[in-house]
Amino acid sequence: MPFTHDEIQNLPAVLSAPRFASYLAEKGSDKEKALELYRWNLELSSAFFVPLQICEVSARNSIVSPIEATYGANWPWERGFEISLRNPPTGYSPRRNLMGLRSLPTSGKIVAELNFVFWEKMLTHGHDGAIWNAHFRTVFPNTDNNKTVQALRGEGNDTLFKIRDLRNRIAHHEPIFRRNVQEEYDRIRKIISWTNATAADWIDKIETVTGMIATKP
C-alpha cells in the first residue's frame, strides 16, 4: 500500500531525524523509498520474533538440564554453582544476575527471568570440566560428531552471541535491513536443531522471515 502525502510528510518526524537518517541514507534521501524500507524493517523485525522465541526457550532449557544434573534441583541457591559463575567488577556479571533473582520462589521462575546473555555465558570454557565434557552431546545430540565438545561449545557460544545481538537490535527498534537475513535465520535454526530436529523443521514451516528477503524495497 503506497504512503499518502501526509504520511510522507509526517512520519519521518514521528520516527525522529536520527532514527530515520539510516533509511534516508540508504535510499538517497528519498523519503517515500526510505519509509518503504522502514516498513519492511518493521515487518522483518516482527517476523524474527517467532524463531527467536523458540530459539531462546530451546537454548535455555537445554542448558539448564545439565546444570540441574550437576548441581541439583536447587542449583540457583547452590554455593558451588554460584562460585562457578564469572563476576567481573564492571559490565555483565552472570553471578550478580543469578543472585539478584534468588528471592523468586522456584528455579523455574529464575530460569524465565535470567537474561539471555546468562545462557550464552554458560557456553564458555570455564564450565567444560563441571558440565560440558560430560553432558554436551546428551543435551545437544544433533551436533557434529567430528568436532570436539570444546569446539562445539565455542561454536554455540559464538552463535548465541550473534543471535543475542540481533535480538537486542530488534528489541531496541534498530535497523536490521543491512544484515544477511538468511544467515541470521540459519543461526537461529541451527541452535534449535542442535536440540531437536523436529522443532527446527517445524520452525521452517511457520517462519515468515526468509520469505521477506525477496520483498526488500
CA distance 57 to 203: 13
CA distance 25 to 103: 48
Give the pLDDT confidence of 51-106 residue by residue, as tens digits. Answer: 999 999 999 999 999 999 999 999 999 999 999 999 999 999 999 999 999 999 99
Which residue do the cell numbers 523436529 mark?
A: 198
What pLDDT is recorded for position 1? 81
pTM confidence score: 0.94
Distances (CA, A) of 92 to 44, 73, 80, 114: 29, 25, 20, 12
What pLDDT is recorded for position 23? 96
Helices 197-206 and 31-71: angle between axes, nearest 10 degrees: 160
Q: Is the pLDDT of residue 206 over 90?
A: yes
Nearest to 132 by CA among 29, 62, 44, 36: 62
CA distance 174 to 21: 12
Give the pLDDT confidence of 153-162 residue by residue, as tens digits. Answer: 999 999 999 9
Q: Provide the strand spans (E) within 55-147.
A: none
Give the pLDDT confidence of 111-152 residue by residue, as tens digits. Answer: 999 999 999 999 999 999 999 999 999 999 999 999 999 999
Please report, rounded to a whole number, the percentage of residues in the chain having pLDDT higher than 70: 100
- φ/ψ of 117, rounded to 5, equals -65, -25
Got the DSSP string for 138-155? Answer: HHSTTS-TTS-HHHHHHH
Please report, rounded to a whole number, the percentage of residues in the chain having pLDDT higher than 90: 99
